Amino acid sequence: MKQSFPILLLLPWSLSSWAQTSLNTIEVQGVSEPPSAERQSHSQTELEREASGFTLGDYLEHLPLVNSASYGQGVGQPVIRGQSGYRVKILNNDQQTTDLSSMGADHAVAVMPKAAKRIELLKGPASLLYGAQSGGTIRVIDSFNDELLAQPGLAGKLYGSGSTNNQATQLGAAVSAANEKFSLELDGHRQSVGNYQDGKGQAIAHSDTWSQQVQAIAGYQQNDWLLKAFVSDLEMDYGIPNGSSKASRINLKQQRAGLKSIHNLHGDYLERMQFDLQYTDYLHNETEGGSADGLFGLESFAANIKLDAHYDTWLASFLMGYQQQNLQVCHEHGACQGFSIAPRTGNNVSASVKPIGSGYDQTPYFHGHPMPDTQTQSLSLGSHLEADMTQGIFSFGGYIELRQLTPDSKNIQENWLMPSTPTANINYADPDFYRQQTDTAISLSIGWQQPLSQYLTTEVSLSYIERLPSSEELLWNGNHHATQTYIIGNRDLNKERSVTLDWDLTYQTKRTRNTFNLFITEFSDFIYQTPLRDAQGNEIKDPDHNNTVWQTQQANAEFYGASLQQDWEIGRWQGSDWRLSHQADWLSGQLRSGENLPRIPPMRYQIALQQQTPHWFNQISLKQVFKARQLEDYETATPGYPWLSLYSRWQTHAFGMNTELWFKADNLLDQQAQNHLSYLKDTAPLIGRQLSAGIELRF
């Protein structure tokens, strides 16, 4: 594991000239953002205060109807309204994250949320500008997308923190310098986390993680034109505490570069045009006991044009995009130091293609690369329109995607290349299994926000979403060592369609804000995976690893749920402002046939009390996660647990710097707790009592 940390130094050629000049700003009108349930924006510092870990899921899981599917300390995938993976789009500076987190439960989201400035959750019409996911969209925003240029002069920050239990440390630095035309920003973040102990004091082996990100952003401004560029390097290394005696680890590397051009047009209708280019090179390897068993690579190029316009009371944004992705996968015991082309001998008969289990002779098992090299090209057009009507605000979103999938079987061993006639009673896949495929998806959403009285506002949206099956859902046929599963894709999957009715009711006075949300999502051809079982209900295992075989299927399904929030400004007492908040949410998910879906989040309730002065902020919160009662037929129950947390921050200004000291305690009751959404809930329970403290200096 790496232990180095880059020291970032910035030496402006004339610090006094940078500090004394003022920065001309570009006036950007664009689309207004009135308070709306469609858009929820949260600062990074606010989310970090509530987080018990360092992943994106950890940062978001305290929000209503948002959970984290953990896979140890290194993986926390956000789950929104019971949906995750391909049903939640994660954007990093308005480009889809080019990682493989949706492909596997053990794959981390290639985002370091500590480096973000704010994170937004979009649903309904607002989300369709960027894509079409039934769960919604998460926008992770840093300086490249958040501000046009850095603030004039020289500014920076340094921070560090440490934790008990898992011996976690965080270090980081950021610096920016700008004058009237140029800006330069550099930042670096590093975190190291050791193995942790659960609520029983038991050490969880192979649960350590390490991650580091460095980034540089440069900007140039001339009148109504702005040009920005960035380069970023991210590396993560984390263990998979799956109970195996051999250490399962994933090392992830991602290099990104991008260019953004913004023009203010000042036209009668067109206000702004933005052009983006981004390139990403992603690679992660999986080892078991030090053996290089798996290698995943994804190279991506994306180009977008965004237009902001207005007409009368209408505000509109249009986003036209092109993306090309090249995916490569390797699975060879100890031989995945690189990607390979399989040799061709002309002999199609091999003992390594064999049926799975007695009675399943028609299901061929293959021990080799699990899917072909695949190129995905897509064209998309997203739109979001909003109009301030007499009685309320009307919104509309639309998204069209044209996708071409081109598999290349050059890496597939020839014994799996589908001979024209069945061999040894095995029904091989279709001769055109690796055919090129072109598909189209169209999604629409309408919304309405209306005040019912001085204090009461209602907001409703209706969304129709089409999702194209991913290349992995279509083509995967192979083992996955880290998750200890064998997954069979389905080449004949249909488009997944969903209709969501979402309703919010807000009652707000000078001192209170109460929000109630209710949603229902009906799926047609819902894509899911389920263990393959024999006639007695026993799980079928693959013949070489004895791992459970999961098959990809489709069925009609439905999700529904509700949340309730209350924030109450109690008032001022003893020189402090006091605030009390409550939150509860509940979810359900099942097939239309009545069978429960697995890993549905259990009901939660949380109460928090805050006290604030000019220098102090203190919060104590108690979250009760109830017993998971909605279980799939073969799913085990998960007991409920209380989670008591404390946060305290002191800040002051001295010697030209803002200084902040903070202390945080998680799971103060040292409860033995399990995450019902985790595949590893038994081998990797949640962390026991942990105390953390840190310092941050800003100048």
Does the pLDDT value for residue 350 go beyond 50?
Answer: no
Does the pLDDT value for residue 556 go beyond 70?
Answer: yes
DSSP reduced 3-state for 75: coil
Q: Are 128 and 397 in contact (CB under 8 A)?
A: yes
Q: Are 623 and 673 in contact (CB under 8 A)?
A: no
Mean pLDDT of 378-405: 96
Angular region, 293: left φ>0, alpha ψ -120 to 50, beta rest:
alpha
Pairing between β-strand 616-625 and β-strand 604-612 as defined by DSSP bridges: antiparallel
What was the pLDDT predicted at 34? Answer: 43
The total number of residues shown for the chain amounts to: 699
**Rounded to 5°, angle at Cα 614 from 613 and 619:** 40
Does the pLDDT value for residue 505 go beyond 70?
Answer: yes
Pairing between β-strand 209-222 and β-strand 225-239 as defined by DSSP bridges: antiparallel
Calculate the CA 408 to chain-centre distance.
28
What was the pLDDT predicted at 450? Answer: 95
pLDDT band at 517 (very low <50, low <70, confident <90, very high): very high
Which of 203-212, 448-457, 468-477, 529-538 is predicted with the least confidence, judged by mean pLDDT? 529-538
Closest CA to 561 of 25, 45, 67, 209: 67
Q: Are 65 and 40 in contact (CB under 8 A)?
A: no
In angstroms, the Cα distances linking 350 to 186, 341, 342, 370, 409 are 55, 18, 14, 16, 17
What was the pLDDT predicted at 433? Answer: 79
Q: In whole angstroms, give the CA distance from residue 45 to residue 52.
A: 13
DSSP reduced 3-state for 56: helix
What was the pLDDT predicted at 359? Answer: 53
Which of 133-137, 364-368, 414-418, 594-598 is predicted with the least confidence, judged by mean pLDDT? 414-418
Q: In whole angstroms, give the CA distance from residue 110 to residue 77.
A: 10
Q: Are 353 and 419 in contact (CB under 8 A)?
A: no
> Residue 600, class by beta-carbon neighbours within 10 Å (0-12 exposed, 13-18 middle, 19+ buried)?
buried
pLDDT more than 70, % of the chain: 89
What was the pLDDT predicted at 454? Answer: 93
Tell me which residue has tokens 């953990």. Answer: 70
Q: Half-sphere exposure of 320 toward its Cβ, with a 13 Å CA cutoff?
A: 6
CB 146: neighbour CB atoms within 10 A? 11
Residues 602-640 have pLDDT tens digits of 999 999 999 999 999 999 999 999 999 999 988 899 999
What superfamily does domain 29-698 belong to in CATH? TonB-dependent receptor, beta-barrel domain (2.40.170.20)
Alpha-carbon Rg for the chain in angstroms: 26
Does the pLDDT value for residue 6 go beyond 80?
Answer: no
CB 460: neighbour CB atoms within 10 A? 17
Which residues neighbour 115 within 8 Å (Cβ) at sequence distance 6 or greater? 142, 187, 189, 213, 215
What DSSP letter does each residue of 635-675 carry, written as one string? PPPB--EEEEEEEEEEEEEETTEEEEEEEEEE-TT------
What was the pLDDT predicted at 150? Answer: 82
Does the pLDDT value for residue 91 go beyond 60?
Answer: yes
Mean pLDDT of 166-176: 96
pLDDT band at 345 (very low <50, low <70, confident <90, very high): low
pLDDT band at 252 (very low <50, low <70, confident <90, very high): very high
Q: In whole angstroms, give the CA distance from residue 163 to residue 171.
A: 12
Mean pLDDT of 125-132: 94
Mean pLDDT of 309-331: 94
Does the pLDDT value for residue 438 go beyond 90?
Answer: yes
What was the pLDDT predicted at 370? Answer: 87
Higher-scoring residue by pLDDT: 5, 274: 274
Mean pLDDT of the chain: 88
Q: Give the dihedral of Cα atoms 465, 471, 477, 481; nearest 10 deg.
A: -90
What was the pLDDT predicted at 355? Answer: 61
What sign for the dihedral angle of Cα 265, 270, 271, 274? negative
Residues 15-48 have pLDDT tens digits of 333 333 333 333 333 333 445 789 999 999 999 9
